[in-house]
Amino acid sequence: MKLATYRNGRPDGCLMVVSRDLASAVDVSALAPDLLHAIQGWERLAPQLQQISDALNEGCATGAIVFEPARCMAPLPRTFQWCDASAFLNHGRLMERAFNTAPIPDFESVPVMYQGAADDFLGPHDAVPLPDEALGIDFEGEFGVIVGSVAMGTPPSRALEAVRLLVQLNDWSLRALGPREMKSGFGFLQAKPSTSFAPVAITPDELGDAWRDGRVHLDLEVEWNGQAFGHPNGGEMNFGFGELIAHAARTRRLSAGTVIGSGTVSNVSRDAGSACIAERRVIEIIDHGEPRTAFMRFGDRVRMRARASGGELPFGIIEQQVVCAGVPGA
């Protein structure tokens, strides 16, 4: 089952069921007005939504229309909690070198995670307004999960039972602000603007064998201004989503609708390229003694898509342009 959210003038949008080929959709707001309501009532609503999805895929759904990704908000436009990890240790080790920070204690045994802003997620084709090019504008291609309620202390072996939907996302970063915030001991705030999401959230069964061990085993293709930048595979996560969910729930309950991110998809093989600029810059420092790739400028575009073995794009495409944000009072 695939779900999306159309704009309707309201903060949480209108819930849509989308066909497997992303060609058609049905408005299901009479059943669940938005995705958060659907997640909160998943046990009751999922079977009904699945029936509509089955009919849509068979070409016999009432009210089917052409699916238009340009009308999409983030599948879950806002929620109660967004926690992002750094589950690809290759990326984490490279970032330590980039920021000249001391190794994180227990990095290989305890997931690293920060709590970001969950009140203003961006849609797949929204412009990305940012205040200053000098802040080091960077994209970060990731995968994530949306969970139902998770009890405090749930072990990794049970945590995957809470996964309701899988998502593909771009966790924007402002690299010039990251080092100070990391050294403060309080974590990211200004360095992490609003996160963007691909148009559809999908149930794990949509990926077949590409969803296993709590990991999305798909290449994440990244293009910057029309040029290929990387295609790392999500299967190389050192911590699976079961471990990430359990880590977030160690000392608190997770409410239905919590989003957990994988962190930047990163592979050890250089052939895979990168899913963020900072990682490429660190590799350039290692190889050449200095970075050669600049960060993004206003007007730049980024395109991200996860590709299945048959060529399908299960989550659709993120394609966005960075623009200069208007500053009140300026």
DSSP 27-80: E-TTT-SSHHHHHHTHHHHHHHHHHHHHHHHTT--TT-EE--GGGB--SS---S
Residue 327's pLDDT is: 58
d(CA 29, CA 110): 40
- Mean pLDDT, each 10-residue run in order, the chain (330 residues): 98 98 98 98 98 97 97 98 94 72 77 92 98 96 98 97 98 86 73 94 98 98 98 97 98 98 96 96 90 97 96 97 76
Identity of the amino acid at 224: W
DSSP reduced 3-state for 169:
strand
CA 29 centroid distance within chain: 24
Buried b (16+ CB within 10 A) or exposed e, 70-89: ebbbbbbbbbebbbbbbbbb
Nearest to 121 by CA among 166, 85, 167, 76: 76
Contact 133, 220 (CB under 8 A): no
DSSP code of residue 1: -
Architecture of domain 82-324: Alpha-Beta Complex (3.90)
Domain extents in the chain: 2-71, 82-324
For the four alpha carbons of 320, 258, 267 and 203, in that order, the dihedral sign comes to: negative
Element (H, E) at 224: strand 219-224
